[in-house]
């Protein structure tokens, strides 16, 4: 059977672990947000590239001789 001091120690350990998990979750959320932002940027770049490629391949850009 646990004594009051042992239970208090266990509760304190639980709170420390919980706080660390919350910090880890926050860090992972920040990384996810940054990754999503980077993906949107890359998606925009790819779309721009393909739109430009289509315009060039259709001959819609004046050619310089």
CB 55 within 8 A of CB 61: yes
CB 10 within 8 A of CB 2: yes
Sequence-distant (6+) residues with CB within 8 A of 10 are 2
- pLDDT tens digits for the chain (65 residues)? 779 999 999 999 999 999 999 999 999 999 999 999 999 999 999 999 988 888 888 876 555 55
Write down the pTM of the prediction. Answer: 0.65
62 φ, ψ to 5°? -65, 135
């Amino acid at each position: 059977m646990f004594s009051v001091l042992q239970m208090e120690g266990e509760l304190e350990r639980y709170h420390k672990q919980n706080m660390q998990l919350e910090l880890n979750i926050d860090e992972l959320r920040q990384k996810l947000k940054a990754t999503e932002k980077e993906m949107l940027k890359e998606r925009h770049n790819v779309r721009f590239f393909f739109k430009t490629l289509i315009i060039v391949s259709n001959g819609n850009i004046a050619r310089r001789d």
